[in-house]
Amino acid sequence: MKIVPALLLFILSFTFPAGAQTASLPSTYCNPMNLDYGFTPIPNFSEQGRHRATADPVISYFKGKYYLFSTNQWGYWWSKDMLQWNFVSRRFLQPYHKVYDELCAPATLTLGDSLLVIGSTYAKDFTLWYSQKPETDTWKEAVHAFTAGAWDPAFFLDDDNRLYLYHGSSNFYPMYGQELDRKTLQPIGERKDLIKLNDELHGWERFGEYQDNTFLKPFMEGAWMNKYKGKYYLQYGAPGTEFSAYGDGVYTADHPMGPFTYQAHNPFSFKPGGFTRGAGHGATFEGQYGNWWHVSTITIAVKNSFERRLGLWPTYFDQDGIMFTNTAYGDYPHYIPTKKVDKPSELFTGWMLLNYNKPVRVSSSLPGYSANFAVDEQMKTYWSAASSKKGEWIETDLGEVSTLKALQLNYADQDVDSSFLGKMNGIYHQYQVLGSKDGKKWEIIIDKSTNKTDIPHDYVELHKSVEVRYLKLVNHHMAAGKFAISGIRAFGFGHGQKPGVIKDLLVLRGEHDSRSAWLKWGQKPNATGYVIYSGIAPDKMYTSVQVFGTNEYYFKSMDRGKTYYFQIEAFNENGIGERGPIIESKIIESKSSL
């Protein structure tokens, strides 16, 4: 639909009305993390179009600040609160390193008053850097040539000051462990084989978007180690970074070099459904107030298999020492805590998505990139306007007047200039968001028409909620490419009824392969979608899957021969319905089927 000239003039000349608001300092965040992601620096990775990409993150809480490193960013971020991140430009490779990967899958280590960092390499000449004030570019060499040659490395300093290295990235070789000399920071002795994938037993480790495992063995990568109450937690990513079911598993031990035992609940970090998918190859860390977090990779994998973003998930240890993350509604707004939090429910705002698959109008559309792709809750799809010109717009109808609490604007990369390789400095987004109750009288809700920062996944928490039915996002300036949106996501509360309880969940689990089950349930006419919970006990249902627009799901992430429990709830823009009864799925396979 073409924009009417009179309306265009109205929008572009609209002044900020008395009493209108800008965003206040936020108390909430929303995945994917709103970072000024760099573009992939690798030309043959962007033949389908230049695009932003990163993955394999690690966050270190050091001297009261959070430091975030991830693949190929030509720098890193720091934050006081994990709400607002500051980018520090820095190249860590030496001039003689002739590779594209600038800190690919980095590892960090806190030693006394210093933070250390290194990237992945099979070579033995990468530098291990340190800084005592990493909020600025003040890095020095700790070790000029680190001789371990580790890909996807992770460091761990134990309470007795013995230092260890874990690493591995392969669909054949295991994950390795090795002790390091605390003084020289070089390897001691031979590395040791620690753990390997077992996809014949663990359903979630099977390769493929649908875990069919018919063409390639799965990959184990992304080592990480934590210690909690005397127990060691060795973590790993699987089965492949390009898949929605990319997750992180964990083995435990009483010694940092094992022997290791597969945790009964796995994967402990998992998000195969919703707008952001994938929660693998990450790092677990303890932050402010003693709260634990897991930062991980989110997959897009449209322009390239390595097109990815980052997500942040609250993490917990239960009374039995089971590690788990909470990813239920994990890409909806959550609070950053200001105290110690013991229950996942304390961090979820309860603000619901208001515009899933609701009517959309746009100023123009590029063929193949239709308007409703901006509200289909799939990060892989997006709407694109025909240009990047000021005045292009997209309007989303919430269906009824609703209470708006926050808005997330996810930009997509369409027809980005061919020169955009690596971190691009000086680029920025500018826009306005207008709201209306009737589609006739409009007021500005958010004004970023003078913004000078790069905000590809901008999340704006309103300091005062507004009652609105229509939202119009108007482009003023694009950081790169055409005006394209993968998700305009409005959060708050509708004024209708929540969906009712689902009492007819059916779990059909095959006797020949109990790694998989088909789930079916009755539709709720007023439901936007459903969240399926599963786990190894009624009080350990830590896995969640969010589905939209269907009343069935093929769940393929169980361990063979193990009893699982399932429960389901429906949700819509008005809230979350009561969970249904817990269903036990008990299968004991014969030895001949193993």
Q: Which residues contact 554 (CB under 8 A, 6 or more apart)?
A: 210, 516, 517, 518, 519
**What is 248-290 written as a DSSP string?**
EEEEEESSTT---EE-SS--SB---SSSSEEEEEEEEEE-GGG
- pTM of the predicted structure, to 2 decimals: 0.94
Q: d(Cα 394, Cα 371) in Å, to the nearest integer?
A: 8
The tokens describing 188, both together, are 């001691």
In 3D space, the residue among 257, 254, 237 whose CA is nearest the CA of residue 299 turns out to be 237
User: Quick one: pLDDT band at residue 402, thresholds 50, 70, 90?
Assistant: very high
Residues 393/33, Cβ–Cβ less than 8 Å: no
Cα 57 off chain centre by: 10
Report whether pLDDT(124) > 50.
yes
Q: What is the mean pLDDT of residues 212-225?
A: 92
Q: What is the DSSP letter of 220?
A: B
At 458-483, the pLDDT tens digits run 999 999 999 999 999 999 999 999 99
Interval 352-396: pLDDT, tens = 999 999 999 999 999 999 999 999 999 999 999 999 999 999 999
DSSP string spanning 19-73? Answer: T---B---SEE-SSP---PPBP--GGG-TT---B-----EEEEETTEEEEE-TT-
* Mean confidence (pLDDT) of the chain: 94
Structural contact between residues 578 and 569, judged by C-beta atoms closer than 8 angstroms:
yes
